[in-house]
Amino acid sequence: MKTIISIFLAGSLLLLGSCSESGPTTEDATTNKVIKLWVAPDESQEAFWKIVVERWNKSGLGTPVELKTIPAVESSEKAILTALVADNAPDISTNIFSGFSTQLASLGQLQDLSVMDGYQELVSVRHMETIMQGWDQDGKKYVFPLYSNPTLIWWRRDILQRLGIIKIPETYDDVYALSEQYAASDNKYGMQIMTGKIWYDRWFDFISFYYAASNGAPYVKDGKALYKNEAGLAVLTFMETIYKNGWTALDFESDDPLTTGLVVGGVRGPWSISFFERMYPDTLKKIIVGPMITKHKGDGKTFTLADSKGLVIFKNSKVKEEAFAFISWVFSNDEISLLWLEKTSLPPARGDLMDNVIFKNFYNTHPIARQYASYVNVAVPSAFTENTIDVQKTMGFEMVDPVKFGTKSPEAALADAVRRTDKILRAEH
């Protein structure tokens, strides 16, 4: 059996290998080495990396870098995985979220960055000690976080003014009141509650609301679902009330409802800033940003989700040290952090974002980006679990969708979702 399997495995690798690309184009002639870097398929991030790689290659400080956008036909994860199996993986890849890093680490594909030369200096220069604790995986640091995107709520200031609302909504009651008022007008709704239909959309609805309601308590930890509590119930009851009263549409797939004025508010991340700057600059001028809403306004800032992604170095890379030297050069340079901010508007993952003088000028002229930066310290990353997709699909199937369609009470939905999630997590561990 083993022989047959080996033959097939060898055959597969041969086939995949033959499909892989030919040699690098910018290989260093003398050392014959090159660092292959894959970056997120995102216009603004690509623009940033293009400039940085060009500067590095011109500087002659180390091994040249070959830049490529992740060839993501369906998803970055699939593209990276396929490349790893085909032995055609890059040395560094960005766009890695917590769940995927957990999977790759369990498959033994990631390099522990904390053992690399210069790691402590890099973390220290960016004041990332606390941030890195959030990315700890069994004492190892496989991911170097690049940005931390808090989710906040965008409100149409002009509509709030028209409705006579001066204060930015912060509680469920505030939203009920404005929804009742605005939905009374022709074919309008109060707030966009659900951001989409895919499993990852749960980050931007239920999980964001849950973090706000629970002061950042984990929803999955140590192989158990933990959201069957007062906070979880409060969020689902809020969703139920909004749907029952028709204060939100079943979906908003046609156009962004903030641009059409169909809703007064909706959850958005900082990535929407550059998108709106390009596509809807007039709407962007009418936007004010507020915190995630909760049942009762508490003291201090409201917690929220950090949609955080980082970069990894793959274990099979033959230029790990050189790759880390490149990373150190990029991320220990404050000017490059500023360039990142200017190109992407995404808050760089660093602890001195609001204190460092170099970012002050930028934030003084970019009030929406400043709002996001001010929430980085209360933004919690998504759960580190290999079963991200099942955990979040279950949230949709057992809980959020039934509450939306009124087929389950919030209590029953919560109990069902937690039961099924626990069962899945038990089966996999």
Partner 1 sequence: MKIGNINIVEIKESQIGAALAISFLLFNVIFWAYPFLWLVILSVTEWRFFDVPTFSGLKNFFAVLYDPEFWRSLWNVIRFLGYYVPIVLACSLGFAFGLQHIGRGKVFIALSFLVAHISSGVAYSLVFEKIFSSTGPLNTFLADWFGFTIPWLSSPNMAMLSISLVVTWKFVGYYGLILYSGLVAIPQEIYDAAKLDNTKLLTKLFKVTLPMINAQLVMVLVFAITVAFGIFTEPYMITGGGPMESTNMPLLVIYETAFNRLQPSRAALMAIIIAVVSYLVIKIMRKLLEKNVELV
Residues binding partner 1 (CB under 8 A): 1-2, 4-6, 8-9, 11-12, 74-75, 77-78, 81, 84-85, 103, 107-109, 187, 196-199, 249-255, 257, 260, 262, 386-387, 389-390, 393, 396-397, 401-402, 404-405
Closer Cβ to partner 1, 233 or 249, answer by number = 249
Residue with tokens 């931007």: 204
Closer Cβ to partner 1, 1 or 29, answer by number = 1
Q: How far is the CB of 262 from partner 1 (least distance, A)?
A: 6
Residue 80 CA, distance from chain mean position:
17
- Report the amino acid identity of residue 290: G
Closer Cβ to partner 1, 328 or 392, answer by number = 392
Q: How far is the CB of 102 from partner 1 (least distance, A)?
A: 11
* Contact yes or no for 122/331 (Cβ under 8 A): yes
Closer Cβ to partner 1, 76 or 302, answer by number = 76
The counts of H helices and E strands in the chain are 20, 12
Closer Cβ to partner 1, 291 or 402, answer by number = 402
Closer Cβ to partner 1, 197 or 360, answer by number = 197
Q: How far is the CB of 108 from partner 1 (least distance, A)?
A: 7
Closer Cβ to partner 1, 85 or 358, answer by number = 85
Q: How far is the CB of 187 from partner 1 (least distance, A)?
A: 6
Q: How far is the CB of 62 from partner 1 (least distance, A)?
A: 29
DSSP string, 38-99: EE-S-HHHHHHHHHHHHHHHHHTSSS-EEEEE---SS-HHHHHHHHHHTT---SEEEEE-HH
Residue 411 to residue 341: CA distance in whole angstroms = 42
Q: How far is the CB of 250 from partner 1 (least distance, A)?
A: 3
Residue with tokens 């699909």: 393
Q: 321-341 burial, b if ≥16 CB within 10 A, otherwise e?
A: ebbbbbbbbbbbebebbbbbb
- Report the amino acid identity of residue 221: K
Tokens of 156: 């149409």
Please tell me what DSSP assigns to residue 251: -
DSSP string, 120-157: HHHHHHTT-HHHHHTT-BTTB---EEEEEEE-EEEEEH
Please tell me what DSSP assigns to residue 262: S
Q: How far is the CB of 74 from partner 1 (least distance, A)?
A: 8
Closer Cβ to partner 1, 14 or 358, answer by number = 14
Closer Cβ to partner 1, 18 or 22, answer by number = 18
Q: How far is the CB of 251 from partner 1 (least distance, A)?
A: 5
Q: How far is the CB of 327 from partner 1 (least distance, A)?
A: 24
* Contact yes or no for 250/401 (Cβ under 8 A): no
Residue 163 to residue 178: CA distance in whole angstroms = 8
Q: Which positions ≥6 away from 118 have C-beta within 8 Å?
A: 324, 325, 328
Strand partners, 145: 310
Q: How far is the CB of 298 from partner 1 (least distance, A)?
A: 33
State phi, psi for 311 to the nearest 5 degrees.
-115, 155
Closer Cβ to partner 1, 5 or 29, answer by number = 5
